[in-house]
Amino acid sequence: MKINRRHFLALGMGATAGTMLSPLPWKLTDDVSIWTQNWSWTPVPEIGEYYYTGGACTLCPGGCSLAVRKVGERVVKIEGAENSPINTGDLCGVGISATQLLYGPSRIEGPMVRSGKRGEGKWKSLSWEDAEALLAEKLGAASGSGVAALSATKTGSMAALIQRLLDTVGSDRFLTLPSIYDTMEQAMALTMGRDAGESVGFDMENTDLILSLGSAVAEGWGSPVRMVKAAGTKKMIQVEPFLSTTASMADTWVPAKPGTEGVFALSVAAAMIQEKLYDHIFVSTATEGFEPFSAWLLENYTPKKAEAVTGVSPAMVKKVAVAFAGARRPVAVCGRGKGETPVSLAEALAVFALNALKGSVQRDGGLVKVGALPYAVATAEAEAMGEKLAALTEKGKTDLLMDWGTNPFYTLASSEKAKEALASIGTIVSFSPYMDETAAMADLILPDHMHLEKTQDVPVRAGLERATVTLTQPALAPVMDTKHTGDVLISVGGQLDGGGDAFGWDDYESYLEESCGEMWEALYDEGLWQGEIAWKKGLERILGTSQRFTFVIPEGPVYTPAEGAESSHPYTLVPSWSLRIASGAVADAPFTMKTIEDRVLTKGLSHVEMHPSTAKKAGLKDGDTATLATASGKATVKVTLFEGMMPGVVAMAAGLGHTAFDGFIGDKGASYTALSGTMVDPGTGFNCAWGARASLTKG
C-alpha cells in the first residue's frame, strides 16, 4: 500500500475538478482582465459639480468675453460668453486653448532671479517680499532716463500704474507695441480731429461692403470673432498679394503687389473722382481740402499711373471703384494681416480719404470715432512712441526694462541687431506668467497671474464701433505662486523714494475699482462696459458737425519699397496670417499647435509658400529644404507650392519660431518678425515693415 504516482494523479484530478467547480479560476480570470486595464498612469479625471464662471480673454486685443466651464475646482473648457455683443458665444482656437496655458509646462512657478548666465535657464526662487524689494532696489539705483517699461495696453488701470511707477523714478519711457490703431489715431487727428484718448472704430455690423486693403478680415484682424462673422455675411473686396482665406471668401480679390495697398486705395479714390462716383453732397457740405487733394490725386495716382506701382490694371481699379461707390454703406479698412503692426501714416490717410469720398465717416456702417475710455485714473498719452521704441533697440540707451505682457524678445526682435541691443540691456524684468522669450532672458521674474486667475480691466482696442472695456475674472485660485502685477507695482512703488503717496492703495483691487470710475458697476456686474455710439444719426447727422472731415495730402511716400537689393534678393517675403497661429506676445498652446497644417510647419521647420514659377526660378521643388535670407537674418525653411501666390512673392506664417515656452510650443519653425527688418515711417516714427526682399537657396 505504497503511495504512488496514481495517488498523486488522483489528488491532482480531484484538485483540478474541485478548482473548476469553485469560482477561483473564473473569478481570477475576470479580475486579471480588469487588472490589465488598470494602468495607474492613465488619468481618471475627478467628477464634481459643473459651473460656469465669466471672464475675459487677453491673448489678443480682440476683447472677447469668456464662459469658463469648471468641474469642481478644475477649469476644463473655455467657451465664448453668449451675452457678449462682441463675440456672441464664440471664441477663436487660441482663446479656447487657454486651459493649456493655465495648466501647461510654460508656467513660471513663482518669483525667480537669474542664477547663471543670461539665457542659460538657471534660476533661483525667492519670496515675493524679496523679489519686490529687489525690484525696488534696482529701480532706485537706475537713472531715470535709463528705465523703460513695455505695457500690453495703452490705457487701463495697469497702464496708469506702470506710468505712475515710471514717473516716480523720473522716466517718461512708457512704451507699448504699436499697432494699426496707433497709425489710424494719428490719421484721425489730422482728418477728423481727435480728443485725448479717442480711438478709431468701424461699424461692421451695419456695413454692406468691406474694402480691405490687406487686412486679414477672416484671419484675425480687429476683433477676430466679430470679423469672422462679418466675412461670412458681408460683401468683401480683398486687396492682397496672395490668396488668403479672406481673399478667397471675397467677392473680388485684387492681387496688388505687396506693400502697395495704399497706392491702390488712392487709385480707387482717383477713379471715383474721375468717374464722379463719390458722394458730392457729403464732400461739399461736410469736408474741407477736397480740391487740393483731388488735384494731387489726379496728378499722381490715376489708375494708369498707379499700375506701375501696384501691378493692378485700370480696369480692375474701376471695377473696385464702381463696387465701392455702388454700395450703400461701404467701409474701407487697413492694417495688414491682423493689424498688429502699423502702416504708414500716408497709407492710413489714403484709406480714410476713400471712406470720406463715400461719406462713410461717423455714420452707420463706416469709419467712426470711438470715445475715450472714462478711466478715473488716467493714462497720459505717450508722445513720440516710434522714437522711444527705436531707442530700445539701440545699444546703451536702456539700463532697466520691465516687460508686462509684450514679450519684446519675440515681438521687437526684427533683426539680429535689434535682438543684440535688447540683450545688452542692463537689467531685464519680466512679469510674464509664462516662460516666454523675454522671461527666458530676464534677470528677475515676478510672474503675474494669467487671465483666468485674476480680476483686471481689459481696455479693448480692436476697431469696435464703441468704447469697450471687459473684465477678467478669476475662475480658480492661482495654480502657481504668482501675484497680480498690480499688487506688485503698488508694493514696489510704495518702497521707492517719493512713492509712498503715489501708491497709497491697500491693494490692486481697491485701486482697480477707483481707476475704473463710472465703468466699475457695469464691469463688476456684467464683465463688460460699453460707451455710447459716438456718432449722430439721421437729421442730427446732417445738421451736426460730428461728420466733418479734412482731406489731407499725405507727406512722405505712400509706398515704401522693401529693404534689400533686387539682384541679391530677388523675391519679396511677406507674412501670412491665421487664426490658428497666435502671432503677438503669446504663443499657441498644444491644442492650437495641432491645427497647424503640414503645409505650414513640418518637424520644426516653417514652410514658405510660393508660386510654382517662383520655385522653378529658384531651382526649388515642392518639399525642398531651402535657406531663406533677408537683410535682417536667415532661416531654414521648406518649400510649399501654391498657385494662389503672386509670382515673385514668398509668404511665411507669422507667429512661429518661438524659442522659449516649452517643448510643445518652442523650437517650431522660424520667426517672421526676425526676418522682417525695419521701415521707419516718417509720418509716425513707427516701424511699418510690411515685408522684406529675400533670397532663396536650396539646402
Q: Where are the alpha helices (DSSP H) in 327-401?
A: 345-357, 385-392
Give CA–CA dist 407/430, Å, rounded.
9
Side chain identity at residue 25, one-letter code? P
Shortest approach of other proteins to residue 12 CB, angstroms?
6
Q: Which is nearer to other proteins, 82 or 275 (CB)?
A: 82
Q: Work out whether the CA dihedral 494, 499, 500, 506 comes out positive or negative.
A: negative
Q: Which is nearer to other proteins, 390 or 645 (CB)?
A: 645
Q: Which is nearer to other proteins, 210 or 372 (CB)?
A: 210
Shortest approach of other proteins to residue 110 CB, angstroms?
14
The secondary structure of residue 645, as a DSSP letter, is: B
Q: Which is nearer to other proteins, 9 or 542 (CB)?
A: 9
Give CA–CA dist 220/339, Å, rounded.
8
Grid coordinates given for 565: 537689393
Q: Which is nearer to other proteins, 43 or 699 (CB)?
A: 43
Give CA–CA dist 77/407, Å, rounded.
26
Q: Which is nearer to other proteins, 218 or 277 (CB)?
A: 218
Q: Which is nearer to other proteins, 2 or 276 (CB)?
A: 2
Q: Which is nearer to other proteins, 70 or 548 (CB)?
A: 70
Shortest approach of other proteins to residue 202 CB, angstroms?
18
Would you give the distance in Å from CA 536 to the centre of its chain?
Answer: 31
Shortest approach of other proteins to residue 612 CB, angstroms?
8
Shortest approach of other proteins to residue 354 CB, angstroms?
22
Shortest approach of other proteins to residue 92 CB, angstroms?
6
Shortest approach of other proteins to residue 518 CB, angstroms?
32
The SS3 of residue 80 is strand
Shortest approach of other proteins to residue 380 CB, angstroms?
36
The SS3 of residue 685 is coil
Q: Give, to the nearest 10 degrees, the angle between helix 261-274 and helix 303-310.
A: 170
Q: Where are the beta strands (DSSP E) in 250-373?
A: 252-254, 287-288, 330-337, 367-370
The secondary structure of residue 415, as a DSSP letter, is: S
Give CA–CA dist 84/407, Å, rounded.
29
Q: What residues does 434 pair with on adjacent strands?
A: 107
Shortest approach of other proteins to residue 635 CB, angstroms?
16
Shortest approach of other proteins to residue 4 CB, angstroms?
8
Q: How many alpha carbons lie under 13 Å from residue 524 in its C-beta half-sphere?
A: 12
Q: Which is nearer to other proteins, 34 or 543 (CB)?
A: 34
Shortest approach of other proteins to residue 70 CB, angstroms?
10
The secondary structure of residue 373, as a DSSP letter, is: P
How many other C-beta atoms can be found within 10 angstroms of the C-beta atom of residue 508? 24
Backbone angles phi, psi at 249, to 5 degrees: -80, -20
Q: Which is nearer to other proteins, 383 or 643 (CB)?
A: 643
Q: Which is nearer to other proteins, 223 or 673 (CB)?
A: 223
Say which residue the cell 509668404 belongs to.
651
Of 492, 383, 346, the closest CA to residue 431 belongs to: 492
- Write the CB contacts of 653 (distance below 8 Å, at least 6 apart in sequence): 575, 576, 577, 578, 581, 596, 600, 601, 606, 607, 669, 672
Shortest approach of other proteins to residue 268 CB, angstroms?
18
Give CA–CA dist 659/647, Å, rounded.
31
Q: Which is nearer to other proteins, 245 or 287 (CB)?
A: 245
What strands, in cross-sheet order, belong to the sheet with 528-530? 456-459, 468-472, 528-530
Q: Which is nearer to other proteins, 219 or 563 (CB)?
A: 219
Q: Give, to the nearest 10 degrees, the angle between helix 261-274 and helix 345-357.
A: 30
Of 151, 160, 145, 98, the closest CA to residue 454 belongs to: 98
Of 220, 219, 202, the closest CA to residue 211 belongs to: 202
Shortest approach of other proteins to residue 51 CB, angstroms?
10
